[in-house]
């Protein structure tokens, strides 16, 4: 892969691919250039407007002022109605093996091909400027610039959705967005309208479990799974189809932060996820995901306890394993947020030959929505000409004109058939790569209805809950207690308890306890209020079968990858007099393992080590906070230790890191600092080189052994057992 040295300060060489090379021709770089108007006129004075005398009125004639202000006045476009807050990166995708038995999609058939991608991660409910750390679903939208045109896999970090029919999407979003009278709360589902809606739509029960779980609080975009959600189709060159579910599996594992931590991060660094993605790519720690597929032969369509067309259901990995078929690497940050991240237009209908849709009624509605939304958001029908949206292959058709047309179409004809221009552009035979829709047989009446096969609203919600670890279950209880606790209308809280009791009695009882309520007895058939005017309640009643699978390991984050500390952020607390050797030895070892290490001191500037060396801290206690790190180390050095022990911010840093169940290590000499914390447990009279004081908290005499244990602890990510017996909720 060709590399170019980026002009960005301190940046590593930025990776290039076919798409980024094509973007080059649109890039403007002002370094060393002269200032002009938009029409190329060189500007002599960009400081003063043209006036009638030094103290006189500004003249209408001042076209330079007018151009600049007018452009400024028009700088904003509507934000996305959903997924407004997002961050993106460029990268590449490579398939491992030829998948042509399953699909004719060329980019999945050639292991030698490197397909450029642009990926945008997002939250759903918040505005463009909202915090990254909202409890929310995350968008995971991937644009593959293939040699057969763009394929967009517009997914989420959860494998199911709240609703089964696109007609309910505007209702769902109106319910979750800030309430219309006072526009509160921002980027939060913890309010009456959301739960009012949800409590009457039992089909949302499964997704609600995911949204209330730690999946809604990712540690990083780089540590999230992605899912295409709907069942799609793979079609091979012979026209044979299989159902397929798409997955993204992050190679760093799936990790979360604690809810208390998320709320603090929202204040300390609302750009936490954006910064994390940007910094990792700038540092050359390129995030990677494997693309996985679950393939179901058409003959097995009705083999499952759920309907493959129902987007509130997943296919448990125990029933159909996820086959990992390729790898995506994000290796380049965008040059310009607006031009790329904001203007990128995804569409679930952007497919290539070999990938097709199913009749999932949510997917069908999405096929309409995405182009429609770009027309208003990007201002007209030519948004496909915006550089980031252009395919890497040529575009020719008879579509013309419209606002902001960039292409200069030569010739007399913009219609077909035409004899004047040889009937160009020519249609393409299927065998030569022309797209043909899958030839699905449909024999039906036109009817507004929902299939009874969609009415099991609870068994997979329960499967998800039962598959969680103890800590994860507790977090779901806490999340529901928090969210419903913010709901003012008691009837809504009660109705929601009646939904929860269908999922799990203990779960409902614990939430009811937190809310100080009894669980009302609402019969199962009365829970669903999403029924048409003439609908018979019985026809729309939820069902709640047991489900034959008790647990699915893949649904819990507990068993995720925990064998490395790559890109984990570790804070080293230090002050004047720090033991420089202790500090650098641990720091260097952590960095060698791929961690990011910051030295945090009482103030910025220099600290002087006990060996009289100057050390430059990265942050001070004012600018840093424990919630922005994964682990903490306190080196020795008498004066440093004395300063930190007396420094309330340092002790708070450790206390908070403990509360959020993070790994903490201290040099034996720094024991005093640990002793000032609330979590310190007395050292045994005889202690060894590396003594674990409590889960994930250690003190050590020998730096080598200490560091080795510390690294294993950081790799664990969190010590959720510290919450037991739920005295210190993280």
Smaller CB separation from ligand HDE, 347 or 662: 347
Q: Whole-number minimum distance, CB 366 to ligand HDE, in Å? A: 4
Pair type for strands 226-227 and 288-297: unpaired
Residue facing ligand HDE at closest CB distance: 139
Q: Whole-number minimum distance, CB 88 to ligand HDE, in Å? A: 7
Binding-residue pattern over the window 35 to 74 for ligand HDE, x denoting contact by CB under 6 A: ----------------------------------------
Prior bond of 425 cis (ω within 30°): yes
Distances (CA, A) of 162 to 135, 168, 186, 308: 15, 10, 20, 16
Smaller CB separation from ligand HDE, 165 or 456: 165
Q: Which of residues 584-623 bind ligand HDE (CB under 6 A)?
A: none
Stretch that binds ligand HDE, among 82-90, 469-477, 597-605, 624-632 (CB under 6 A): 82-90
Q: Whole-number minimum distance, CB 134 to ligand HDE, in Å? A: 15
Q: Which of 95, 99, 133, 141 binds ligand HDE (CB under 6 A)?
A: 141
H helix intervals, 467-538:
470-485, 490-503, 505-515
Stretch that binds ligand HDE, among 126-134, 149-157, 509-517, 600-608 (CB under 6 A): 149-157
Q: DSSP of 5-58, one letter per residue?
A: ---STTPPPEE--HHHHHHHTT----TTPPPB-TTSPBPS-SS---BSSTTSPB
For residues 492 and 234, what is the distance between their CA atoms, to the nearest angstrom?
43
Q: Whole-number minimum distance, CB 246 to ligand HDE, in Å? A: 9
Stretch that binds ligand HDE, among 154-162, 243-251, 529-537, 561-569 (CB under 6 A): 154-162
Stretch that binds ligand HDE, among 150-158, 258-266, 515-523, 689-697 (CB under 6 A): 150-158
Pair type for strands 596-601 and 619-620: parallel
Is 85 annotated to bind a ligand? Reply is no
Does 250 bind ligand HDE (CB under 6 A)? Our answer is: no
Smaller CB separation from ligand HDE, 120 or 206: 120
Q: Which of 14, 103, 115, 122 binds ligand HDE (CB under 6 A)?
A: 122
Instruction: Kindly give, in sequence order, each residue whose CB lies less than 8 Å from that of residue 648, ignoring residues fewer than 6 positions away.
Output: none
For residues 485 and 499, what is the distance between their CA atoms, to the nearest angstrom?
16
Smaller CB separation from ligand HDE, 78 or 729: 78
Contact 88, 143 (CB under 8 A): no
Smaller CB separation from ligand HDE, 87 or 466: 87
The single residue listed with the structure tokens 């709320």 is 263
Q: Which of residues 340-399 bind ligand HDE (CB under 6 A)?
A: 345-346, 362, 365-366, 369-370, 373
DSSP 8-state code for residue 214:
G
Q: Whole-number minimum distance, CB 373 to ligand HDE, in Å? A: 4
Contact 215, 136 (CB under 8 A): no
Q: Whole-number minimum distance, CB 335 to ligand HDE, in Å? A: 18
Smaller CB separation from ligand HDE, 127 or 369: 369
Stretch that binds ligand HDE, among 11-19, 76-84, 279-287, 575-583 (CB under 6 A): 76-84
Query: Whole-angstrom distance between the N-terminal and C-terminal Cα of the chain?
Result: 44
Smaller CB separation from ligand HDE, 171 or 401: 171
Q: Whole-number minimum distance, CB 308 to ligand HDE, in Å? A: 15
The single residue listed with the structure tokens 């493959």 is 308
Contact 242, 104 (CB under 8 A): no
Q: Which of residues 192-231 bind ligand HDE (CB under 6 A)?
A: 229
DSSP 8-state code for residue 256:
B
Smaller CB separation from ligand HDE, 81 or 558: 81
Q: Which of 91, 126, 155, 387 binds ligand HDE (CB under 6 A)?
A: 155
For residues 180 and 299, what is the distance between their CA atoms, to the nearest angstrom?
48
Stretch that binds ligand HDE, among 12-20, 75-83, 188-196, 302-310 (CB under 6 A): 75-83
What tokens were used for 378? 């990007």
Backbone angles phi, psi at 412, to 5 degrees: -90, -20
Stretch that binds ligand HDE, among 155-163, 288-296, 425-433, 523-531 (CB under 6 A): 155-163
Binding-residue pattern over the window 229 to 248 for ligand HDE, x denoting contact by CB under 6 A: x-------------------
Is 80 annotated to bind a ligand? Reply is yes
Q: Which of 14, 17, 20, 82 binds ligand HDE (CB under 6 A)?
A: 82
For residues 558 and 577, what is the distance between their CA atoms, to the nearest angstrom?
40
Closest CA to 690 of 670, 671, 674, 667: 667
Is 633 annotated to bind a ligand? Reply is no
Q: Whole-number minimum distance, CB 610 to ligand HDE, in Å? A: 51
Smaller CB separation from ligand HDE, 154 or 600: 154
Does 153 bind ligand HDE (CB under 6 A)? Our answer is: no
At 70 the three-state DSSP class reads helix
Q: Which of 156, 164, 264, 542 binds ligand HDE (CB under 6 A)?
A: 156
Smaller CB separation from ligand HDE, 388 or 730: 388
For residues 64 and 44, what is the distance between their CA atoms, to the nearest angstrom?
10
Q: DSSP of 685-707, one letter per residue?
A: SS--SEEEEETTEEEESSHHHHH
Q: Which of residues 163-192 bind ligand HDE (CB under 6 A)?
A: 166, 169
Count CB atoms within 10 A of the CB of residue 178: 17
Instruction: Kindly give, in sequence order, each residue whose CB lies less than 8 Å from that of residue 44, ignoring residues fewer than 6 positions away.
Output: none
Q: Which of 90, 120, 462, 717 binds ligand HDE (CB under 6 A)?
A: 120
Does 154 bind ligand HDE (CB under 6 A)? Our answer is: yes
Radius of gyration for the alpha carbons in the chain, expressed in angstroms and rounded: 28
Q: Whole-number minimum distance, CB 375 to ligand HDE, in Å? A: 10
Q: Which of 15, 86, 670, 680 binds ligand HDE (CB under 6 A)?
A: 86
Is 120 annotated to bind a ligand? Reply is yes
For residues 65 and 150, what is the distance between their CA atoms, to the nearest angstrom?
41
Closest CA to 510 of 539, 476, 483: 476
Smaller CB separation from ligand HDE, 276 or 690: 276
Number of residues that this document lists for the chain: 730
Distances (CA, A) of 534 to 448, 523, 540, 629: 11, 21, 11, 56
CA 360: distance to chain centroid? 24
| Residues tagged active-site | 83, 156
Q: Whole-number minimum distance, CB 713 to ligand HDE, in Å? A: 35
Binding residues for ligand HDE, total number by CB under 6 A:
24
For residues 292 and 99, what is the distance between their CA atoms, to the nearest angstrom?
12
Q: Which of residues 628-687 bind ligand HDE (CB under 6 A)?
A: none
Contact 140, 157 (CB under 8 A): yes
Distances (CA, A) of 347 to 24, 144, 374, 599: 24, 12, 9, 44
What tokens were used for 537? 């309640």
Q: Quote the strand ranges of 283-391, DSSP E.
A: 288-297, 323-332, 355-356
Smaller CB separation from ligand HDE, 155 or 250: 155
Is 462 annotated to bind a ligand? Reply is no
What tokens were used for 139? 């968008």
Is 445 annotated to bind a ligand? Reply is no
Q: Whole-number minimum distance, CB 127 to ligand HDE, in Å? A: 13
Q: Which of 14, 23, 80, 583 binds ligand HDE (CB under 6 A)?
A: 80
* Interface ranges with ligand HDE (CB under 6 A): 80-83, 86, 120, 122, 139, 141, 154-156, 161, 166, 169, 229, 345-346, 362, 365-366, 369-370, 373
- Which residues contribute to the annotated binding site? 80, 120, 169, 366, 370, 377
- Which residues contribute to the annotated binding site for heme? 80, 120, 169, 366, 370, 377
């Amino acid at each position: 892969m060709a590399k170019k040295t980026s002009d960005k300060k301190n940046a590593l060489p930025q990776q290039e691919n076919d798409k980024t090379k094509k973007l080059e021709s649109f890039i403007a770089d002002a370094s060393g250039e002269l200032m002009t108007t938009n029409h190329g006129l060189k500007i002599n004075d960009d400081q003063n407007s043209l006036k009638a005398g030094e103290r006189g009125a500004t003249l209408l004639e001042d076209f330079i002022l007018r151009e600049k202000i007018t452009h400024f006045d028009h700088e904003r476009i509507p934000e996305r109605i959903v997924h407004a807050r997002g961050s993106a990166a460029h990268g590449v995708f490579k398939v491992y093996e030829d998948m042509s038995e399953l699909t004719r999609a060329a980019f999945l058939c050639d292991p030698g091909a490197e397909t450029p991608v642009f990926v945008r991660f997002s939250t759903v409910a918040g505005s463009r400027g909202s915090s990254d750390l909202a409890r929310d679903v995350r968008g995971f939208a991937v644009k593959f610039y293939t040699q057969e045109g763009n394929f967009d896999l517009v997914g989420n970090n959860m494998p199911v959705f709240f609703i089964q029919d696109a007609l309910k999407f505007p209702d769902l979003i109106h319910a979750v967005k800030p309430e219309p009278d006072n526009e509160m709360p921002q980027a939060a589902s913890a309010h009456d309208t959301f739960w009012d809606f949800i409590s009457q739509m039992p089909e949302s029960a499964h997704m609600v479990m995911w949204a209330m779980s730690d999946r809604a609080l990712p540690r990083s975009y780089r540590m999230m799974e992605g899912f295409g959600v709907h069942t799609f189709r793979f079609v091979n060159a012979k026209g044979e189809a299989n159902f397929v579910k798409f997955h993204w599996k992050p190679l760093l594992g799936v990790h979360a932060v604690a809810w208390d931590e998320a709320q603090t991060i929202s204040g300390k660094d609302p750009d936490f996820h954006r910064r994390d993605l940007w910094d990792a790519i700038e540092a050359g720690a390129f995030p990677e995901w494997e693309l996985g597929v679950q393939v179901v032969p058409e003959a097995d369509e009705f083999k499952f306890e759920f309907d493959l067309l129902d987007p509130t259901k997943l296919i448990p990995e125990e029933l159909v394993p996820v086959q990992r078929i390729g790898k995506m690497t994000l290796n380049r940050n965008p040059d310009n947020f607006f031009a790329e991240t904001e203007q990128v237009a995804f569409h679930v209908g952007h497919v290539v030959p070999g990938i097709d849709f199913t009749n999932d009624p949510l997917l069908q509605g999405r096929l309409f929505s995405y182009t429609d939304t770009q027309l208003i958001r990007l201002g007209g029908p030519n948004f496909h000409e915006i550089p980031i949206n252009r395919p890497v292959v040529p575009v020719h058709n008879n579509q013309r004109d419209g606002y902001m047309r960039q292409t200069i179409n030569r010739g007399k004809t913009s219609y077909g058939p035409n004899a004047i221009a040889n009937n160009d552009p020519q249609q393409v035979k299927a065998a030569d790569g022309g797209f043909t829709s899958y030839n699905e047989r449909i024999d039906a009446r036109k009817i507004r209805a929902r299939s009874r096969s969609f009415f099991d609203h609870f068994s997979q919600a329960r499967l998800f809950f039962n598959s969680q670890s103890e800590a994860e279950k507790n977090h779901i209880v806490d999340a529901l207690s928090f969210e419903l606790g913010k709901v003012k209308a008691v009837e809504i809280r009660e109705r929601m308890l009646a939904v929860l009791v269908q999922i799990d009695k203990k779960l409902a009882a614990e939430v009811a306890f937190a809310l100080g309520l009894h669980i009302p007895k609402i019969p199962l058939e009365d829970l669903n209020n999403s029924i048409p005017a003439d609908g018979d309640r019985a026809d729309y009643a939820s069902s709640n079968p047991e489900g034959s699978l008790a647990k699915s390991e893949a649904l819990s984050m507990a068993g995720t990858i925990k064998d490395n500390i790559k890109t984990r952020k570790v804070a080293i607390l230090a002050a004047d007099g720090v033991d420089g050797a202790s500090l650098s030895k641990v720091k260097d070892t952590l960095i060698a393992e791929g961690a990011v290490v910051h030295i945090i001191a009482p103030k910025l500037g220099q600290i002087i080590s006990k060996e009289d060396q100057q050390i430059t801290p990265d942050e001070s206690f004012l600018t840093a906070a424990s919630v922005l790190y994964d682990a903490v180390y306190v080196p020795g050095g008498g004066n440093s230790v004395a300063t930190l022990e007396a420094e309330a911010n340092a002790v708070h840093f450790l206390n908070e890191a403990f509360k959020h169940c993070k790994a903490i290590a201290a040099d034996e000499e720094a024991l005093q600092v640990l002793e000032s914390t609330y979590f310190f447990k007395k050292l045994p009279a005889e202690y060894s080189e590396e003594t674990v004081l409590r889960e994930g908290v250690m003190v050590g005499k020998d730096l080598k052994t200490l560091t080795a244990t510390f690294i294993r602890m950081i790799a664990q990510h969190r010590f959720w057992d510290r919450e037991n017996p739920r005295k210190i909720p993280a």
